[in-house]
Structure 1
Amino acid sequence: MRLLSYNIHKGIGGRDRRYRLDRVIQVVEQENPDLICLQEVDRQVARTRHDDQPRRFVEAFHPADHLYQLNVKLKEGGYGNLVLSRWPFQAHHQVSLRLKRRKPRGAQMFVVATPEGPLHLVHWHLGLAEKERHWQAEHLLQHALFREGSHLPTLIVGDFNDWRNTLGPGVLGRGGFRQLTSPRSRFRSFPAYFPVTAIDKAFTRGGLIVRQARIAHSRLARDASDHLPLVIDFHIDPPQA
């Protein structure tokens, strides 16, 4: 099974600043993922020609299930997180990760009915301040809706904005999570045209077997957004009798 996590920067190229969502769709298509986790997805915003980007992704990939989370509301439209899945959701929740008056942030939680068994998937886009990120991670791990699926194999992905890599040995490490995106030197994803920092991350807990985790470095990916996509190939470890 393959998951792709990608901050698409609203479909605006990080270097040429051109809005071309077709480039992002092609980058995703090249990887052929079963689970697509996207951050900074616009809907009805002037800068992106009032496109309904969630609808365009659904039309491009025909998922069995999908869910959009509008986090930041603008004068016209807004942007947020989008998950598309080749398999149906058995359950899904969306929670706010907004701390006081900071920019609205959110997390999406799913139990995905994969062919290998249920997967507990968490998808988020964390804040820019370190204390904010630690509060957000702690808030999510303590949330009653998160605990509903915490007995299942769990995968947390997204734009962590954790450039100092403190969540791994901190909140997530204490929660029993293992970082897949280490060492940081192998997972530099931002800025896409000359990546120097690793802020697109993945953590796992429970019965997951990860075959490979990598950053996609195609020429098109370097132009399509200001982030490079993270790709994870994995299996669910069957429970032992």
Structure 2
Amino acid sequence: MQRWVQTTNADVYFLQEAMARRMPQPVLASGFGNPLNAPLDDVWHCQATEIATALELQIALGPNVFKPSWRHGNAILSPHPLDLSGRWDISAHRFEKRGLLVARATFGGQAITLLCAHLALTRQARLRQMNWIAHWIAKEAPEGPLVLAGDFNDWRNDSVPLFGELGMSEVATMLGESGRTFPAFSPALALDKMFVRGMKPVEWLIPTQDTAWLSDHLPYMARLRVE
């Protein structure tokens, strides 16, 4: 993964289920609408922090699952300065811990809101989470360039019309691409999504087959232009 990140030279990376195996101390999470109240620097060193340290990237972290033997969460990496704006618990039920990570960065003089999401496996839970995220965007980031990306588990494309009501476009859909990323070795489902506002989708980059070794999902890669 580190070698792939180094060769892609992207401006932003949105990672889900960044994994770690040992937890020095407990961290408590509050419900959606309230940030997670714990310093992460000393308690969560995961795959994403190792990559960021090795490649001198900026990083924002959002924990989702914390257990005695393992934990994982969302991460946003960038060679540009990142301003962490919030880590939100959007779990729809106790069986699947899910999160929304928000950061802001500046590209070409434009401030851009970056959201990294990991949604539930069941449709009803996903719809609740999508509506929570839409509510957050409408309230906290109603204007300006914005990118929402991650593992939506949304093979039915419920998210496309829902976020379309907020003036957001799904990149692969807008470009007429399949957007299929799962399973990695024989992609048949478009589970991962990238929604943009105030940015023009230029190209959906078809992943090469060697990236199938990185994860059970192929990477979703796009070239965007700030309008």
TM-score if structure 2 supplies the norm length? 0.82
* Structure 2 unaligned regions, length at least 5: 24-43
* Residue 68 (structure 1) aligned to one of 57, 61, 82: 61
1:1-241 equivalences under 5 Å are 24-45=1-22, 52-63=46-57, 65-143=58-136, 147-169=139-161, 171-182=162-173, 186-205=178-197, 207-219=198-210, 221-237=211-227
Kindly report the root-mean-square deviation, in angstroms, between the aligned alpha carbons of the 2 structures. 2.2
Tell me the CA shift for residue 226 of structure 1.
Answer: 1.0
* Structure 1 unaligned regions, length at least 5: 1-23
Taking a change above 3 Å as real, the CA distance of residues 94 and 212 of structure 1, as seen in their structure-2 partners, is same
Q: How many residues align?
A: 206
One-letter code of the match for 1:230?
Y
1-structure distance, mates of 2:46, 2:82: 22
* Misfit runs of 4+, over 4 Å: none
Greater relative contact order (CA < 8 Å, ≥ 6 in sequence): 1
Taking a change above 3 Å as real, the CA distance of residues 100 and 223 of structure 1, as seen in their structure-2 partners, is closer
Q: Deviations over 1:93-138 (max 9, x none)?
A: 1111111323110001122122341111111011001111111011
One-letter code of the match for 1:195?
P
Q: Percent identity?
A: 26
TM-score if structure 1 supplies the norm length? 0.78
Contact 1:187 1:214 in 2 (8 A): no
Q: Deviations over 1:78-105 (max 9, x none)?
A: 0111111121124511111111323110
Taking a change above 3 Å as real, the CA distance of residues 102 and 132 of structure 1, as seen in their structure-2 partners, is same
Taking a change above 3 Å as real, the CA distance of residues 215 and 74 of structure 1, as seen in their structure-2 partners, is farther
Contact 1:215 1:228 in 2 (8 A): no
